[in-house]
A and B are shown apart, each in its own frame.
Chain A
């Protein structure tokens, strides 16, 4: 992971900064230049809600090389939404930490926690970001 590439993503990695289309209100994470719904080009900064529910999950047992020590770990597609408004939220993919694998189920409520994602060996940079934990 190169320093510039890691650093450029910090607002999203650390603070889940998203972009909301000023014209139609659709929220993009990460932020984009064009809204694919209404072709709008103006966005405002919003932070994603930090709670949501699991839409699907898996347990990675054969991990990529930078994560082998953490295997097995759970990952899920989580829909982040403000409380239980029933409104569609933005979906993210992240690890699901601190969970008992047998208790994982679709619909399980989770919240965001700041965690270490991986590190570049013994001497490279440490990469942080968001993971989900069961509520």
Chain B
């Protein structure tokens, strides 16, 4: 049996509302809120980045896993906003948690599914017996170009999972990966903001791959949507995951718990992983969770998880995701938000 032994998430304190962004660009806030099903998004402070959030989410995962960090055999951070282009985020995370030096480390990237990739690979390494525990993190502080539709949703957050064979709280029943070359959303080297192909990012990209991976996953494990208590999908906005869930055969109440986007925004590589942490915060033993991520470029990783008895023992050992989402919020106006996000051009 292989699966999650510890999990944790991190959400920065700051938020900005859709109205505040729309005001600056002369856009219709209500139309955006309705169209995207998003009200506000998280904003990282000037002293926060993918690495700092990864470290804090990893500490929470360690609190729940209750293991010696030196037993972690691999540290993988998946992001599309790694602070360095060359120097893995994982090295700093591994040092901060005290896992070095006998550890494998690599950074992952695949747009928004870099986090689920790290999870996918850790499960494989633990399952094959190569490592005892693997730390997989999905974290992002992605940028949306000013005035672009993505600016309303590009948010910040992290989720960390420690995979292992012992003391599992959610067993990985199976995984599936589905991938094609699809230029729906990308960022060239040295460019500050990403670009996207507008409506092309929908059916031929997001929906095709989640449906592709989702259907194949259900077939592989010979289960139906009604067998699951929870389902979580990549959340670029609040609408897409609800629609793709419906298309796969899931109901609203199965998707609700893991749907963080309306109040969080799109945390990119953290998106479906963070949704999973919110589910684990309340799931009961034997609950089945269906998870499909999506990364532009494009591909999806699907997972089927079964919660174990042990979840009740460790769930309360660290902060819960919706606690961070709902409490202690600090709302920014656009000027401060732009300053924090480095969108204001300064002299050298």
A-side residues, CB < 8 A to B, are 10, 14-15, 69-70, 95, 97-98, 100, 113-117, 121, 126, 128, 131
Q: A69-B339, A126-B83, A126-B84 are in contact. Are A115 and B98 (CB under 8 A)?
A: no
Would A116 and B49 count as touching, CB distance under 8 A? yes
> Does B343 interact with chain A (Cβ within 8 Å)?
no
Question: What band does the interface of chain B fall in when counting residues whose beta carbon is under 8 Å from A?
Answer: 20 to 34
Whether B95 contacts A70 by the Cβ 8 Å rule is no
Select the residue from A97, A100, A116 with max chain B CB neighbours within 10 A.
Answer: A116
14 CB contacts below 8 A, A to B, read A15-B96, A69-B46, A70-B47, A95-B47, A97-B45, A98-B328, A114-B55, A114-B56, A114-B59, A116-B48, A116-B49, A126-B84, A128-B51, A128-B92
**B307 shortest CB reach to chain A, Å:** 29
Query: Shortest Cβ distance from B282 into chain A, in angstroms?
Result: 24
Q: Assess whether B13 is in contact with A98, with CB atoms less than 8 Å apart.
A: yes
Q: Quick check: is B308 within 8 A (CB to CB) of the other chain?
A: no
Interface flag for B182 (CB, 8 Å): no
Q: Is there a chain A Cβ closer than 8 Å to B52's Cβ?
A: yes
- Do A97 and B96 touch (CB < 8 A)? no
Taking CB atoms, residues of chain B closer than 8 Å to A121 are 348
CB 8 Å contact bits of B28-49 with A (1 = contact, 0 = none)? 0000000000000000011111
Given A114-B55, A114-B59, A128-B52, 7 extra CB contacts under 8 A: A10-B95, A14-B95, A14-B96, A70-B47, A98-B45, A114-B96, A117-B47
| A-B CB pair tally, cutoff 8 Å | 46
Let me know if A70 and B46 touch, CB within 8 A: yes
State the CA gap A70–B339 with chains docked (Å). Answer: 9
A68 to B: closest C-beta gap in Å: 10
CB-based contact A115/B48 at 8 Å: yes
Bound Cα distance A10, B339 (Å):
29
Chain A residues closer than 8 Å to B92, beta-carbon distance: 14, 128
**B328 nearest CB neighbor, chain A only:** A98
Interchain CB contact under 8 A, A97 and B47? yes
The 5 closest A-B pairs by CB, nearest first: A114-B55, A14-B96, A115-B47, A116-B47, A98-B13
Q: Is there contact, CB below 8 Å, between A114 and B46?
A: no
Q: Tell me the smallest distance from the CB of A101 to a CB of chain B, in Å.
A: 12
Q: Using a CB-CB cutoff of 8 Å, which residues 82-133 of chain B contact chain A? A: 83-84, 92, 95-96, 98
Closest beta carbon of chain A to B59's beta carbon, Å: 8
**Contact status B52-A114, CB under 8 Å:** yes
Q: How far is the CB of A14 from chain B (nearest CB, A)?
A: 4
Q: How far is the CB of A103 from chain B (nearest CB, A)?
A: 11
- Residues of B with C-beta under 8 A to A70: 46-47
Separation of A14 and B59 alpha carbons in the complex (Å): 12
Docked pose: A63 CA to B197 CA in angstroms: 42
CB neighbours of B96 from chain A (8 A): 14-15, 114, 128
B52 and A116: CB pair below 8 A?
yes
A15 to B56, CA, bound (A): 12
How near does chain A come to B182, taking the closest CB pair, in angstroms? Answer: 32
Q: Which residue of A lies closest to B54 (CB)?
A: A114
Are the CB atoms of A131 and B95 closer together than 8 Å? no
Docked complex Cα distance between A95 and B47 (Å): 11
Q: Are B56 and A113 in contact (CB under 8 A)?
A: yes
With the chains together, A128 CA to B84 CA distance in Å?
13
Report the bound CA distance from A114 to B48 in whole Å.
Answer: 9
